[in-house]
Amino acid sequence: MAIQHIYFADKPTVVRKKMKLVRHVHSLIPSRKLARSETAHICLTHDEDRLRSAMSMRNLQMIECAQKEPYQVFLYEDPTPHNLRDFQKFYNQIAKEKKIEPIGRRQMGTFNLLARENALLLTEVRSECGQTLCYGMDVVHGKKAMSYYVATTNLFMKPEHLKQPIRYAHCYLLWHNLLYLKHRGYELYDMGELTDEVALREFKLGFGGQIVDVYSGYIAQSKISALLLGVQKWSKQKSN
């Protein structure tokens, strides 16, 4: 089914006629057809000192500890299918351990589409010995960027010498990406959905962003696509 993806809309967007479905991601335009959620927006036009001053003490301490670690950061501005498969493999291993939804064919199709449109940034942190500790995937469009997927290796069953680097890897990578995007001229960073999971919510808000409402989901452009969308939602609810 033909789908048009629209990210970060802050004004009405022209929908291509042949599209059966329109997928909105973190639109700022309120809509009863889309699901409302919260995110945090970080203004990247602020200087580095101001960005630091807005952060929580806990996150600042983690970054300070992380900067003492011999991390290796790999940045893929134009991720290849091979890069994306490596990320999928890493993410799905963690998803299996945490019993969460893995990345499948549908998500990989979206990743490859975004990569072809130069709208995807993939970053990776490795330990000194070359073991992957954390991945971050951001959608980038215009002057805005959004945290799309994050995967950090599990602390359990890891060698003792890796536990400390793992503990700070996500925080370090996010701070690295914020500064990278800032210096590349991006103006806004969307932290991704703020869920009810207390620790994760506090971590995201600990970077000092402003809480805003955003709207995401699919809007059908025809009766047939609306029917198929309804069946898909029913199947998903049944499986859950």
Burial degree of 94 (CB within 10 A; 0-12, 13-18, 19+): middle
Q: pLDDT higher for 199 or 18? A: 199
Instruction: Say yes or no to pLDDT of 233 above 80.
Output: no
Domains and CATH numbers, the chain: 38-208 (3.40.630.30)
Q: In what order do the strands lie in the sheet with 120-126?
A: 3-7, 21-27, 210-220, 35-43, 188-190, 144-152, 132-141, 120-126, 72-76
Mean pLDDT over the full length of the chain:
87
Residue 131 near residue 175, CB atoms below 8 Å: no
Q: Is the pLDDT of residue 157 over 80?
A: no
pLDDT in tens, 171-200: 999 999 999 999 999 999 999 999 999 999
Confidence of residue 134 (pLDDT cuts 50, 70, 90): very high
Cα angle at 173 between 98 and 110, to 5 degrees? 65
pLDDT at 218: 87
Total-model pTM: 0.87
What average pLDDT does this structure show over 68-74? 92
Residue 237's pLDDT band (cuts 50, 70, 90):
very low
